[in-house]
Amino acid sequence: MKIAMIGTGYVGLVSGVCFSDFGHEVVCVDKNPAKIDMLERGEVPIYEPGLDDLMARNVAGGRLSFTGDLAEAVAGADAVFIAVGTPTRRGDGHADLSYVYAAAEEIAGALTGPTVIVTKSTVPVGTNRKVGEIVRAARPDAEFDIASNPEFLREGAAIDDFMRPDRVVVGVETERAKTVMGDIYKPLFLRDFPIVYTDLESAEMIKYAANAFLATKITFINEIATLCEKVGADIKSVSKGMGLDGRIGNKFLHAGPGYGGSCFPKDTKALARMGQDHAAPLHITETVIDVNEQMKRRMVDKLQDLLDGSFNGKTVAVLGVTFKPNTDDMRDAPSLTLVPALIGGGAKVRVVDPQGRREGEGMLPGVEWTEDPYAAAEGAHAIVILTEWNEFRALDLDRIAGSMSSPRFADLRNVYSREDVVAAGFEAYVAVGR
């Protein structure tokens, strides 16, 4: 199959590379010449484990290429995937679909034969039909079908998620679209990974409903963690006891400082707006959004209590600022609430993150960046684990405590036990839900 992938952001690049590894001929398109130059040099503009090697292998095999010329990529393609950004629209919470619609119009002008136009971007219900209307209005003579194929990729594990998915969701209305999409995903079908065919609207809704449910699990366990602190329970034991129930499951039950990233914040907001627009308010989702923001602010209060009520004049070492490990993504990360609060309160902040500096330098002005957690902790009044990178899971706690001005530890990912931290010489320790 010949595939054109419009957009080389996180979803577009990972999907394009993985499709090429299935054996398809894939051309990835981006309007940013600097990004295309970078990709053609074999450099990956995002951090995703294993993506650079997989990309290099398929470029060398002649199955993967990059261009800024959309018309060239679309001509003769069996399928054209729209994988452009759909950020939250400023002011009203709706998904900004301007990039999707602009791509649809440009694709229309480039069609040369029967093509399936597939929306990979996360879009509100009804968007795929609108894409079809835009293409039809621009090119009444064009022969095309519309399909919805939402992505379910976890940053840091995206390649494995693509190659070994829980399911592939495909919204179609014609047999031709179903046949093309079936051929594209045949390598997964042959290995018995489930492919769910449905209508366009259901495919669009599945994506939002799944993300909202996962965000709800995270927020629920964070609220339970708050109660655990009040009553003397341990959230790790509670989570384990809950997760062993097959109806609940153990995933997304890890208490922490709140969810962030590229999907959950914008998708819950977009779903809540959809509910309001259709007079079917989603009160649970709306509450999840509100409580998640409260959780981030609660971490600020927790750290302030650890530092005797004031950040002024204190030095704080923050380990991890990306929203999760194994990514360089800073979008809606808890660090964007905590670190500015520290600096605004008069603290000096030292940051360590294996991949966060590239984005973080512009988003966290006023911090001192270092690559060494031990250097960051030297002379500090507190150390905070905010993102549970593997590099922070086996620290020499005795060495850190001995180098600090007042050894205090805020373990906001529950990586260490209180017993180990106290035994290492820390005079104060706080965690989440313990």
What's the chain's Rg over C-alpha atoms? 24
Closest CA to 258 of 335, 145, 146, 311: 335
Cβ atoms within 10 A of the Cβ of 322, count?
28
Tell me if 119 sits within 8 A of 135, measured CB to CB.
no
Per the annotation, the verdict on 18 as an active-site residue is no
Contact 262, 268 (CB under 8 A): no
What residues contact residue 64 under an 8 Å CB cut-off, 6+ apart? 16, 17, 20, 26, 28, 55, 58
Q: Which two tokens stand for residue 407?
A: 């050894």
Task: Kindly provide the residue ranges of all beta strands, DSSP E only, lying in 150-214, ordered along the sequence.
Answer: 168-172, 195-198
Helix (H, G, I), strand (E, B) or coil at 116: strand
List the one residue out of 4, 173, 14, 169 whose CA is nearest residue 103.
4
Q: Which two tokens stand for residue 426?
A: 């820390």
Question: d(Cα 404, Cα 51) in Å, to the nearest integer?
Answer: 39
> Using CA atoms, how far apart are residues 2 and 23, in angstroms rounded to an integer?
10
Contact partners, residue 192, CB within 8 Å, separation at least 6: none
Strand partners, 385: 319, 411
Instruction: Give the catalytic positions in this structure.
Output: 263
